Every structure is written in structure tokens, then in C-alpha cells.
Structure 1
Amino acid sequence: MDYKQFEGHTPGPWFPVEFGGYWNIHDEPFYEGTNLLDKESSDQADVNAKLAAAATQLLSRCIELERWKAEATIVQHRWDRVLDAAQKSPAFKLGCDIPSRVAEMIEENKRLMEALDAMLTTLESLKAAK
């Protein structure tokens, strides 16, 4: 998905507002707010419309990220068990390089998990702002 197409959209939160039997997207939670998709009331209407139209794809990506995080947490737990077992092995006690490589891989996985947590925190704050 080309996220550049959404640059310059009206900052949130946005609100669904029913008016005259139709749903509109406004910048305030009542009908006096600006309709963000009305070209007469917003120079950003085209970008806003593209962003609104992409909402289902964006939601799908968020769900995919949350699922990936859950799976990655399970993998991290398994890596922790592997490291624990490696540290107890005779090879580790003899200074074999394999356990240190496992430890490096675990640390890299932890960094990835932290980055994913930061992304999900940002997504949660965007959801909360709505």
C-alpha cells in the first residue's frame, strides 16, 4: 500500500455523523462540523476520501500486526527456553560458540519485539484519539 497518498489528510479524530439520512465524516461529533469529504468545505477532501476508502485495508494490516505480535511472543518464549537449555549444556561450559550465536539471535528477536510493541502502542494511541 502506498501510504504517501494519505499525506496531508485532515488530522483526527474524525467522527461519523448522520445528517439527512446520510452518513458524513466530520471533524467534530455533530453536524455543524466540517464534512471532511466535501470538496466545498475542505481542500484536503481528495486525500481524506482516499484515507477513508483505505480504512478496511488499514484495519486488516493492524489485525495482522497484532496476530504477528502474539505469534512472536510465543516464539520469544521458545527462544528463552532454548537459551536456558544451551547455557546448561556442556558445550556452553567449554566455551562453544553455538550458545553465544543463539543468545545473539534471541537479543535480535527481543529488539524486533520492542519495535513491534512501539508500533502497536502508536496504533493504540491512534485508535484512542478517535
Structure 2
Amino acid sequence: MDIEATKNYCRSLAGASEKIFAAPANIHVFYVGDKQFAYFKTSQPEQGRFSIRAAPERFLELTDQEGIKPARYMQRFHWISISDLTSKESSFIRMLIDESYQKAFSNLTKKAQKTIKPLNF
């Protein structure tokens, strides 16, 4: 799965929105409601690095895989980074995005959740 296909998949999720932050952050963030579920680094040296939240019980399992490491500054919240999306299967990337989206969605208030037609998990 390439970067553009990943961005399109993130955009396709119910209630998803996005925002691009310039320097010093230099990130392209995807939200559900007001909660982040994925982001891309937009500047060098790690342009295109993709980060998502992982379930705490899967964090070590995922970061033991080649090409996946703890996300800089966000690892204490169980965020992981994938440096090369094309090195992973599309279905695997979509599954990780869905898990991150669901975690963010579940952290919204009940009122906010009702305004978004959620994915069927």
C-alpha cells in the first residue's frame, strides 16, 4: 500500500477529517471527531513515515517486526511508526488503521459518537 492509497483509506473512514501542520510539527494528521488516529511526517529526513496507535497488548509484537518502530515522542501512548508502507501488505496496514481508528472513536464522548456513523467492528 503506498502513501496516497493509505491517505485515501484514512479519508474514507466514517467521520474522518484531516489537517496539515507546518513547521515545526510538519505532520499530516487524520482525526475522527477531535481524536487523532493516524499521521504522516511531511518533512525530511523521515518524509512519509506513517504513525498509528496500537493496542497496548500488541505494541511489543508490532515493534519487533522489521520496519515498525515506536513512534518518536508518542511511544508511551502506544503509537508505532512504519517507515516504508510498501514493505507491508495492504490488508495488514488497513487492519492497523482500523484498530487505531476504533481506539480513537471509542475515546470520543457518547454524544460525539452518535453524530458519526461508526465502522462495524
TM over 0.5: no
Mark the structure with the bigger radius of gyration.
1
After TM superposition, the score normalised by the length of structure 1 is 0.24
Which structure exhibits the higher relative contact order, with contacts defined as CA atoms closer than 8 Å and separated by 6 or more residues?
2
Bigger strand share: 2
After TM superposition, the score normalised by the length of structure 2 is 0.25
Bigger helix share: 1
